[in-house]
Structure 1
């Protein structure tokens, strides 16, 4: 891969906020293109999110199924949630896993950062793996409704093959899971800062 991308870079020359919501901001920026001409870029400013691939001791993975209003259907996803301002990534992952599934983990590993809609959103999603899970009570946000499921890799793969796993972070998490299990990609496991007590 070439290291110099200066011939591709666009430079902001101005802009404004079109809409400011609870945690999203829609912007229209003026930019100077690499050839010197002007253009505009409309995009969503997003604080980012963390997703977790939770591994049960029996080999299954924990997923959630929830209704997503913008696409008007329920989909299967790895647990995930928005990062609070200034929040440590691992702290966000730990919080979201416990809130959505009730599980806490004894070990964590960072997999990757993805940009699921780079053409029109600043959102990054950081994907973590968790293992040594200990079950507990969910702590769902007000107005949050979801089912917690445990599926095998094969079941998740079958959903993906049937076009029934459309969530980007979940597809990328599944790819990481498969490559890691095959020994092709590595994860650097770290102990949880406050490991849960065994039941």
Structure 2
């Protein structure tokens, strides 16, 4: 294990304030005591958490979405994902998001890990799942949500990643977390 029980690198919060309260994100500014006793300012975003789903069709293809992401002003190909609602269990969220965004329900779910995509400026965590034995029941997109649903074989997905056509960090990290499960080697 690489992590010690007592962390000699820990920073201690002295005081802080919320400087922005948005619909999704909250921005905070804290003063912290550093390991050497000096102080510093830390700005960070709090996020409710999310899920990402590697949904595998009966023919072995992976369901992906193409959607416009405003901060980068372009469309991206990514795995289905979505925000965890307050008090919602992570698998419940994964089931809801898969159904809403892609129109599929899955009979078999496996949690494959947790990722932290923005550790330098956010507390966001994303729970990754593999979903199998899919049945199409019809999507239920949220108001203002526009998606194109596509499916790729693993070879096509590998080629798209290599060609720079799939660059979404949560999708790439989730595929890495699931590599043993996807190869048939268990969790």
How many residue pairs are counted as aligned between the two chains? 186
Alpha-carbon shift at residue 135 of structure 1 (Å):
0.3
Alpha-carbon shift at residue 5 of structure 1 (Å):
4.6
| Alignment partner of 1:13 is 2:14 | yes
> In the alignment, which residue of structure 2 is the partner of 1:106?
107
Alpha-carbon shift at residue 4 of structure 1 (Å):
3.8
What TM-score results when the alignment is normalised by the length of structure 1?
A: 0.90
Which digits, 9 at most, give the CA deviation of each residue in 1:89-116, with x for residues without a partner?
0000000000000000001000110000
CA spacing shift, 1:4–1:178, aligned 2, 3 Å:
closer
> In the alignment, which residue of structure 2 is the partner of 1:142?
143
Alpha-carbon shift at residue 183 of structure 1 (Å):
4.4
CA spacing shift, 1:181–1:94, aligned 2, 3 Å:
closer
Q: Structure 1: which 5+ residue stretches go unaligned?
A: 188-199
> In the alignment, which residue of structure 2 is the partner of 1:158?
159
CA RMSD of aligned residues (A): 1.2
| Higher share of residues assigned strand | 2
* Structure-2 separation of matches of 1:22 and 1:2: 35
What TM-score results when the alignment is normalised by the length of structure 2?
A: 0.95
* Structure-2 separation of matches of 1:166 and 1:134: 28
Question: Does the residue aligned with 1:22 lie in a helix, a strand or coil?
Answer: coil
Alpha-carbon shift at residue 18 of structure 1 (Å):
0.9
* Structure-1 separation of matches of 2:3 and 2:182: 31
Alpha-carbon shift at residue 26 of structure 1 (Å):
0.5
Q: Structure 2: which 5+ residue stretches go unaligned?
A: none
> In the alignment, which residue of structure 2 is the partner of 1:58?
59
> In the alignment, which residue of structure 2 is the partner of 1:38?
39
Larger mean CA deviation between 96-105 and 148-157 belongs to 148-157
Contact 2:112/2:178 (<8 A) preserved: no
Which digits, 9 at most, give the CA deviation of each residue in 1:109-150, with x for residues without a partner?
001100000100010000011000000111000000000111
